[in-house]
Amino acid sequence: MTERIASQTEEINVDELMAKYDRESDFRRLTGFISRVVAALAVAFSLFQLYTANFGTFDAQIQRAVHLSFALSLVYLLYPARRSWPRNRLHWLDAVLAVLAAATPIYIVKFYQELVLRAGIMTPADIVAGTLGVFFVLEAARRVVGWPIVIVASIFLVYAFAGPYIPGIFAHQGVDLEHLVGHLYFTTEGVFGIPLGVSSTFIFLFILLAAFLDRTGMGQFFIDLANAIAGWAAGGPAKVAVLSSALEGTVSGSSVANTVGSGSFTIPMMKSLGYRPEFAGAVEASASTGGQLMPPIMGAAAFLMIEFINVPYVTIIKAALIPAILYFTGIWIGVHLEAKKQGLRGIPREQLPRIGKLLLERGHLLIPLMAIIYLLVEGKTPMSAALWAIYLAVAASFLRKDTRLSPGGIIGGLEQGARGALGVIIACATAGIIIGVITKTGLGLKLASSLIDLAQGLLLPTLFFTMITSIILGMGVPTTANYVITSTIAAPAVVQMGVPVLAAHMFVFYFGIIADVTPPVALAAYAGAGIARGNPLLTGIQASKLAVAAFLVPYIFVLSPSLLLINATFTDVLHMAVTSIIGMIGVGAAVSGYLITFATRLERVLFFAGGILLIDPNMLTDLSGLGLLLLGCLIQHLRLQRQKRATGTL
């Protein structure tokens, strides 16, 4: 079945698209002896992580130093200093830098006892090693993540030195080189802070799990399952894109990777059935971006939230559930209404796989995901849950011959996992530099206070400025680093306004992610446009419309935290789910301009207002919103009846 559907798709160079829109994918394709060295290093990295997950991690600085050392060496070997350098061979300069970069964190491992006993007293060798370490992290970030995060981190470093010369509230006494290097590189407040600590424990394991699931064919299974469920419906391929991306979001933390991976299959199908290129690309981009919001795994930033606000991961999963459902419901509704508006049909059922057969043949691939949910609910740590899921992914693959991992496949999974973690690791280390400056200079409180002053102490303006900050940072800074920065700077301002800590952090988390489909720099939308061969800007605008729930829901759960299941009963949850989904239908109708029939401006206003009121979980707003929606539907129904009588079709 899959072959017949795939035959309808266009030829797409996935590697080329990934390299263009995802900096992490623009690495060297080495051959010969050096490729085997890099592969061995990556496998050793994964084995180190598995060993410490099994038998216990080392002291925090040692664990994080070894973790960073592996990552730095691989980045310098895989990502050339200049993008114009050949991708099929290693430049001697990068080989030298790889050794030096790997050595700087190992300096901490080798002299760990002396550094502890000296308790902050720096030697000249310490200063040199620490300065080089910070430089190598920034250069690695430039190579694998891009200039924006390097520029942001550099501005913070300049601020640390320039404090006495800055007027007003942001002035501080300044930090000299010795104390700044000591704070950033030889404590757990800077490079080796919480972000890298989370990366060195369970983030890496979840990325490794995603690599093994990919090796077993999980991605194709999700696409086939989505086809079986929704491929036959009106606008079926677009609904397949939404459903498959939601499923893949449980194992993928990259909007661009998700867009290109599933979009290379779904976007050509959408185009073949009549969807405009821009709409097809937007559907995949908005759905793939939402993958980071989808429990149980979500994006890497969600794991940082555990440490920052000190709550169990299962609490974050529960809090994210209804907002994620609303997000994908909003996209699904937009897709359905667009299909109805254009009269688009689905794929004939005989060309689609059958659910029963799929589950019988490949349902065992779901075992690791079900195990994660069970273990987290039982109170196991994310690291323990991820470790068991990895073992179960390998074991489950042996249940059927066509999914069985060979020894080479297992080694390939270990290598793929290490490579896939590099961008997150370097982003976490660079974000640590920013956090280090903030804690050393007291900038966090100053920024939070100035944000509240700018908003004149009002909640909604504070939320608005926080949203803008998160989106701007998200245009060039990875979601992980974006969350670290905004949760340090902006989230405290929102908390000071009386908002629950979890709601404040979820707010900045959402808007950091949605930047991937927000023009003018909407990388996921641009990747979707590249596959669809559509206009990138128009694709980004359309993706923002489809992702309208992501712009609305965070405001709602800040104003009504029960949407995050904070102090909510089962009746509250059921009430919120039903009314919110009805509300998303109203918002979707307003955005698409269609419900029962094409909507007038007045009807769109009624649908939008009614939808917003229904999303807000309150009896008064629910009744008001339902009344507006019914009024809009009644007006459309009466107008449609008049048109039918006028044309004699009634």
Domain range for 161 is 8-188
Q: Which amino acid is at 283?
A: V
Task: State residue 399's pLDDT score.
Answer: 93
Return the CA Rg of the chain.
25
Report pLDDT digits (tens) over 97-123.
999 999 999 999 999 999 999 877 899
* End-of-domain residue from the set 141, 171, 188: 188
Cα–Cα distance, 604 to 587 (Å, whole number): 9
Range 480-493 average pLDDT: 86
230 located within any domain: no
Cα–Cα distance, 49 to 393 (Å, whole number): 17
Q: With bands split at pLDDT 50, 70 and 90, how would you rate the model's confidence at 20?
A: low
Task: State residue 646's pLDDT score.
Answer: 82
Structure tokens given for 537: 């800007």
Report pLDDT digits (tens) over 574-618.
888 888 889 989 999 999 899 989 899 999 999 999 998 988 777
405 located within any domain: no
Report pLDDT digits (tens) over 525-543.
888 898 888 899 899 999 9
Query: Can you say whether residue 375 is alpha, beta or left, with left for phi > 0 and alpha for psi between -120 and 50 degrees?
Result: alpha
Cα–Cα distance, 301 to 508 (Å, whole number): 11
Structure tokens given for 38: 């890099």
Range 204-223 average pLDDT: 89
158 located within any domain: yes
- The upper half-sphere exposure of residue 158, i.e. CA atoms within 13 Å in the direction of its Cβ, equals 7
| pLDDT higher than threshold 80 for residue 3 | no
Q: With bands split at pLDDT 50, 70 and 90, how would you rate the model's confidence at 6?
A: very low
Task: State residue 502's pLDDT score.
Answer: 95
Task: State residue 13's pLDDT score.
Answer: 63
pLDDT > 70 in the chain, percent: 95
* End-of-domain residue from the set 126, 153, 188: 188
* 3-class SS of residue 518: coil
Task: State residue 234's pLDDT score.
Answer: 76
* End-of-domain residue from the set 188, 212, 243: 188
362 located within any domain: no
List the Cα angle 103/106/108 in 5-degree steps. Answer: 130
Q: Do 476 and 521 form a contact (C-beta atoms < 8 A)?
A: yes
Q: What is the average pLDDT value for the chain, to the nearest integer?
A: 88
407 located within any domain: no
561 located within any domain: no
List the Cα angle 206/210/213 in 5-degree steps. Answer: 135
Task: State residue 4's pLDDT score.
Answer: 46
Structural domain total, the chain: 2
67 located within any domain: yes
| DSSP notation for 191-214 | TTSHHHHHIIIIIHHHHHHHHHHH
77 located within any domain: yes
| pLDDT higher than threshold 50 for residue 5 | no
